Structure 1
Amino acid sequence: MVVGAGVVGAACAYYACLFGLDVTVVDRGPVAGGTTGAGEGNLLVSDKEPGPELQLALLSTQLWRDLPTSLPARVEYERKGGLVVASTEAGLAALRDFAAGQQRAGVEAAEVPADRLADLEPHLAHGLAGGFHYPQDAQVQPALAAAHLLRATALEGKEDGGDRGRLTLRLGEEVTAVLTGSGGAVRGVRTPRGDLRAPHVVNATGTWGGRLARLAGVELPVLPRRGFVLVTEPLPRVVRHKVYSADYVADVASGSAALQTSAVVEGTPAGPVLIGASRERVGFDPTLSVEVLRRLATQATRLFPALAEVRAIRAYAGFRPYLPDHLPAIGPDPRVPGLLHACGHEGAGIGLAPATGLLIAAMLTGREPPLDVTPFAPERFTGKADEKVRDT
């Protein structure tokens, strides 16, 4: 059983069914009704330093390309590449050092001198020191990605007739308890409509991953990190790549609770330009911040002066599932046999979803994971809670 119908939960269900397991996905709301639906759809390697998360991102990059050919077209998959720019020579030198480490880890990155930036982005501001092009960066429409992963899972399970598992989707059912047997092992979940039995429960509830963990009697310190996205009116393709300033990399790695904003600008196949990114820890407060939107607009127009004459038609907020060490929790929780976690991806959940789903499916079926899962072990966080419901 997978709790959570966002893109991570959908990917867990997809690969688990592919490996022959029957899967029930349960969510208190609709598909992509939480963090996934408020995301930009980034599939990035450019913002990740060498280490476990980058290896997870590289695996996911390949998986996004290898998903059935019918899927990417429906989810607006676009391998448009990323462009990271620096305004000073010192900033460019820092980007150069950062890219060198990434290249040794398997990332494709090429330096772009100042006089060639316009070849990639004709509308980019003049006077920048240079940048780096990352051709592996891509984008999907996140809500479509979650929906079509689940749709493909359901259709393939029905039509294949072979070893694939079957999908059951239960939306609008909030999990109120995790059921365990006398030995403490998971036996399913409880919802207002009754008990759902399963030998394994996958916690793919994103920002609410800590809540579900507490229902199972363990602590997982997932916290919400609010961010806003500003959306322009539809335009001709003014922005060709995902373009962001060097400051964005530092903001992603920061653990500060204070407000941080750094320009991230990208076009979409439908025409609107998406402008981010902001980060702040304010709990689950969804209040619109005019100051944040003003900062985002100002920083975006510094990168693309032509946007100063463009209308912003809407803005929306979302909550990234933040864990203190900036790594997701992926895998079985030894404190509660049968409980697995697949949450805490912060702002990278869309991009990391396929690799996360593949790892979870491998662990559920006793297969060798394609990479070392030790850094993502949920038990690296300690603590115990009391909210466990015994299965009677």
Structure 2
Amino acid sequence: MSKGLTCDVVVVGAGMVGSACALYAARAGFDVALVDRGPVAGGTTGAGEGNLLVSDKEPGPELDLALLSGRLWSGLGEELGGAIEYEAKGGVVVAATPEGLTALESFAAGQRAAGVSAVPVPADRLRDLEPHLAPGLAGAVHYPQDTQVMPALAAAHLVRASGARLLTGRTVTEVLRAADGSVRGARTDKGDLYAPVVVNAAGTWGSAVAALAGVRLPVLPRRGFVLVTEPLPRRVRHKVYAADYVADVASDSAALQTSPVV
């Protein structure tokens, strides 16, 4: 076991959330160590789409955070250039039936009141936005604020920009505590990391890391499937998805659910 390392903040998990925590903690003046049992973006981040969406969030804290996130990512997109493949391409949420369109437009009205740009698109104007949509759709809502990054690249470049000490291939086995219960760092299989703050950014495995600190965190994995095609330049102009996707994202059902996202 190697000699212990001392810093201000230990971040557990080198995915998108952990890399962002490392970046902003370092920019706030803290000495940061970023630890992961695998490589950067080796978990969910490396298998994700990189969606930065406001379109799928109802008014409330999550939408407020998404709007803030969008502003932060816009700045990072300018700062990091094309390195993270930041695309402010907007989103189009499509309804197949009149009933679905009514529900979608009602949802969008609440979002507009919370600061989201949500533009109704009648059926006869759909192909102005996406020429290859199927015929017979009821309508859509256009969300100009929806953006996307390439998640593995984004996490890697955020880690690099942070200047944090990156410790990959280390598994956290214990959250170190003082006699009064205060946090004193994290124990790994390759040495101790001493810090008064430990950030749990382990994503799908967040409940297991929380348990090391004696905390119950009810985070459960939920699997999605991504099908990758050959590049189709200019074939699809926006993030396009069915209105049912919003309900599926919000659902806590363990049953199989399907809704297309392109």
Alignment-mate amino acid for residue 127 of structure 2: A
Within 1, Cα distance between the matches of 2:31 and 2:168? 17
1:149 aligns with 2:146: no
Q: Give unmatched runs, 5+ long, in structure 1.
A: 155-166, 266-392
**Residue 119 (structure 1) aligns with:** 128
Describe the superposition over 1:315-334 as per-residue Cα deviations: whole angstroms up to 9, x where unpaired: xxxxxxxxxxxxxxxxxxxx
Give the paired residue count: 253
Q: How does 1:359-378 map to 2 (within 5 A)?
A: none
1:98 aligns with 2:95: no
Within 1, Cα distance between the matches of 2:78 and 2:88? 14
Give the TM-score, by structure 2 length: 0.95
Q: Aligned to 1:11, which of 20, 35, 55? A: 20
**Residue 225 (structure 2) aligns with:** 228
Q: Aligned to 1:184, which of 181, 184, 194? A: 181
Q: Aligned to 1:253, which of 250, 254, 260? A: 250
What's the offset of the Cα at 1:236? 2.5
Describe the superposition over 1:197-219 as per-residue Cα deviations: whole angstroms up to 9, x where unpaired: 11110000000000001011111
Q: How does 1:139-288 map to 2 (within 5 A)?
A: 139-154=148-163, 167-265=164-262
Within 1, Cα distance between the matches of 2:230 and 2:105? 35
1:49 aligns with 2:58: yes
**Residue 322 (structure 1) aligns with:** none
1:67 aligns with 2:76: yes
Contact 2:77–2:86 (8 Å) recurs in 1: no
Identify the structure with bigger relative contact order (alpha carbons < 8 Å, sequence gap 6+): 2
Alignment-mate amino acid for residue 240 of structure 2: V
**Residue 86 (structure 1) aligns with:** 95
SS of corresponding position for 2:223: strand
What's the offset of the Cα at 1:67? 2.1
Contact 2:77–2:84 (8 Å) recurs in 1: no
Within 2, Cα distance between the matches of 1:17 and 1:68? 19
SS of corresponding position for 2:227: strand
What's the offset of the Cα at 1:123? 0.6
What's the offset of the Cα at 1:68? 6.4
Alignment-mate amino acid for residue 93 of structure 2: V
**Residue 373 (structure 1) aligns with:** none
Residues 1:68 and 1:48: Cα distance change in structure 2 (over 3 Å): closer
Within 2, Cα distance between the matches of 1:231 and 1:102? 31
Alignment-mate amino acid for residue 256 of structure 1: S
Within 2, Cα distance between the matches of 1:211 and 1:150? 23
**Residue 298 (structure 1) aligns with:** none
Q: Aligned to 2:116, which of 107, 113, 126? A: 107
Residues 1:97 and 1:68: Cα distance change in structure 2 (over 3 Å): closer
Q: Give unmatched runs, 5+ long, in structure 2.
A: 1-9
Residues 1:19 and 1:68: Cα distance change in structure 2 (over 3 Å): farther
Within 1, Cα distance between the matches of 2:237 and 2:77? 25
1:131 aligns with 2:128: no
Give the TM-score, by structure 1 length: 0.64
SS of corresponding position for 2:196: coil
SS of corresponding position for 1:264: coil
Within 2, Cα distance between the matches of 1:228 and 1:89? 28
What's the offset of the Cα at 1:72? 4.1
Alignment-mate amino acid for residue 134 of structure 1: Y
Alignment-mate amino acid for residue 37 of structure 2: R
SS of corresponding position for 2:64: helix
Alignment-mate amino acid for residue 94 of structure 1: A
Between the two proteins, what is the percent identity of the paired residues? Answer: 72
Aligned-pair Cα RMSD in Å? 0.9
Contact 2:91–2:146 (8 Å) recurs in 1: yes
Q: Aligned to 1:39, which of 38, 48, 66? A: 48
